[in-house]
Amino acid sequence: MTVLAEPAAETVRTASRLGRGYWAGVVRRLARDPVALVAAAIILTIVLAAIFAPWVAPADPYKSSMIRRLKPVGDAVYLLGSDELGRDMLSRLIYGGRLSLVMGVLPVFFAFVVGSMLGIMAGYAGGWLNTLVMRTVDVFYAFPSVLLAIALSGTLGAGILNAIVALTIVFVPQVTRVAESVTTQIRNRDYVEAARVSGARAPTIVRVHVLGNVLGPIFVYSTSLISVSMILASGLSFLGLGSKPPEPEWGLMLNTLRTAIYTQPMVAALPGVMIFITSISFNLLSDGLRSAMEVKA
């Protein structure tokens, strides 16, 4: 996967780019994109803080204190205040990244794997298999994604696992559609035809000629879904369909703190700020990746 090109490959390639390889070029272009770099740094910080939460967080996120409830931001003991049960907000926000990130990123990852397989299969095979897969996709497209996510997790029942399953089902059709469309484009290229004529079997053609050309665009598209997925995953918890108390999770924290909007508005809004920062960073990084990988929208 070094010199292989993405479908928008009609553009003239410079000698230096061919020489250093495609991925070196992607990294070089990303390094020149300050917005994408800042976004990546923010995501990295949040992820690392979540992973190393026991060492980073100043206090136990579960330890409540009835006499120290709803302290303001900038309190001497609680840097970012305390919640409705007197738990340290900063620590809960740091720990909260664990569930929120897992619930937001995993569905997109699963959808990327399943959707790529379905889409490439449908796109390459064509015929009745394509019709079967794509008409099924059309049915799922007939549901607005928020409605489908809530309908599925509402019927499956509240829970982290069910929320992840529901969101995966929401994103699989979207990834499948993109994968099918890029694969269909590649399938009609002369070099694929040439490989077929020279006797290569379908699995070999897909592995050698198709995968390298389609995975890039599918990957970039999938990264653009992470932001939506984060908002939806926390939204499910916000409705009470995702994680359960006392687990720290941004959406759930936002929900339980709704009662505090009159007494401690700053504290009540904090979990949403985390969702916002993470979601916008993923969006900006995805935009940067798109232009660095020279994938057309």
Does 276 help bind another protein (rule: CB under 8 A)? yes
Does 101 help bind another protein (rule: CB under 8 A)? no
Number of residues that bind another protein (CB under 8 A): 44
Q: Copy the structure tokens of residue 95.
A: 């720990």
Say how far apart CA 264 and CA 78 lie, in whole Å. Answer: 13
Say how far apart CA 56 and CA 60 lie, in whole Å. Answer: 11
Residue of 40, 80, 152, 218 that binds another protein (CB under 8 A):
152
| Options 85-93, 146-154, 170-178, 197-205: segment touching another protein (CB under 8 A) | 146-154
Does 238 help bind another protein (rule: CB under 8 A)? yes
Does 117 help bind another protein (rule: CB under 8 A)? no
Does 48 help bind another protein (rule: CB under 8 A)? no
- Give CA separation, 213 vs 89, 156, 209, in Å: 46, 37, 7
Residue of 88, 234, 292, 294 that binds another protein (CB under 8 A):
234
Q: Copy the structure tokens of residue 162.
A: 């069910």
Least Å distance, CB 98 to another protein, is: 18
Least Å distance, CB 234 to another protein, is: 6
Nearest to 83 by CA among 61, 57, 51, 113: 61
Does 157 help bind another protein (rule: CB under 8 A)? yes
Residue of 7, 47, 86, 136 that binds another protein (CB under 8 A):
136
Residue of 185, 256, 283, 291 that binds another protein (CB under 8 A):
283
Cβ distance 81 to 266 under 8 Å? Answer: yes
Q: Where are the alpha helices (H) located in the chain, listed in sequence order?
A: 15-20, 22-31, 34-51, 53-56, 89-125, 127-141, 145-156, 160-187, 190-197, 202-205, 211-239, 250-256, 265-292
Say how far apart CA 290 and CA 177 lie, in whole Å. Answer: 18
Residue of 58, 74, 144, 246 that binds another protein (CB under 8 A):
144
Shorter beta-carbon distance to another protein: residue 25 or 251: 251
Shorter beta-carbon distance to another protein: residue 145 or 183: 145
Cβ distance 96 to 71 under 8 Å? Answer: no
| Site for another protein, rule CB under 8 A | 135-136, 138-140, 142-147, 150-152, 154-157, 227, 231, 234-235, 238-241, 254, 258, 261-262, 265, 268-269, 271-273, 275-276, 279-280, 283-284, 287, 297
